């Protein structure tokens, strides 16, 4: 099963490499990974998605907790949560395709954020499934470049990951 693990780590050089190193060292999967500052400047938030059996996920969480730089973490998929990913996709858009891409983007509530005579760049925010569905929906021959941010997530309601 796919899990979204959100980790608060010390904002120290090398902290990210310890997390990534842990995954490669113990041959765990990382499917997506993102890292950015938080409201507390001493902390960064790393969100990663991974897959594995319950036993493997339990080990991953225990090993992450064991890293000295990891302050706190949560497996968001254990409770109600929101997840979002950002997609930037560059598409060949000429002739009839210009209208077609616009229509598909509208259906997915995407926005065309850059236009040239032959190119549309579409921005789309949603769950990873939704982004997959959009990429499936456009003509593969028009796809020039796909950029995805990796998953970010947050718990629903009162629950929060903080110190």
Neighbouring CB atoms inside 10 A of 150's CB total: 16
How far is 7 from 11, CA to CA, in rounded Å? Answer: 12
Cα 36 from chain centre = 12
Is the CB of 25 or the CB of 94 nearer to another protein?
Answer: 25
Q: Which of 5, 46, 57, 71 binds another protein (CB under 8 A)?
A: 71
Considering the rule CB under 8 A, would residue 25 count as an interface residue with another protein?
A: yes
Please report, as residue ranges, which positions from 124 to 153 form the binding site for another protein (by CB under 8 A).
none
Q: Which of 13, 95, 140, 157 binds another protein (CB under 8 A)?
A: 13
Considering the rule CB under 8 A, would residue 19 count as an interface residue with another protein?
A: no
Q: Where are the alpha helices (DSSP H) in the chain?
A: 15-25, 54-66, 96-107, 128-137
Tell me the CB-side half-sphere exposure of residue 161, using CA atoms within 13 A: 25
CB of 19 to another protein, least distance (A): 11
Considering the rule CB under 8 A, would residue 95 count as an interface residue with another protein?
A: no
């Amino acid at each position: 099963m796919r899990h979204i693990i959100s980790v608060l780590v010390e904002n120290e050089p090398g902290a990210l490499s310890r997390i990534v190193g842990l995954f490669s060292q113990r041959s765990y999967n990382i499917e997506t990974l993102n890292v950015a500052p938080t409201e507390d400047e001493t902390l960064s938030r790393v969100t990663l998605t991974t897959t594995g059996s319950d036993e493997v996920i339990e080990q991953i969480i225990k090993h992450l907790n064991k890293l000295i730089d990891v302050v706190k973490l949560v497996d968001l998929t254990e409770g109600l949560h929101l997840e979002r990913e950002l997609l930037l996709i560059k598409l060949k858009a000429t002739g009839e395709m210009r209208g077609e891409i616009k229509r598909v983007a509208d259906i997915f509530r995407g926005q065309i954020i850059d236009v040239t005579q032959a190119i549309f760049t579409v921005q789309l925010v949603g769950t990873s499934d939704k982004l997959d569905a959009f990429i499936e929906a456009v003509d593969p021959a028009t796809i020039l470049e796909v950029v995805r941010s990796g998953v970010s997530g947050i718990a629903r309601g009162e629950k929060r990951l903080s110190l």
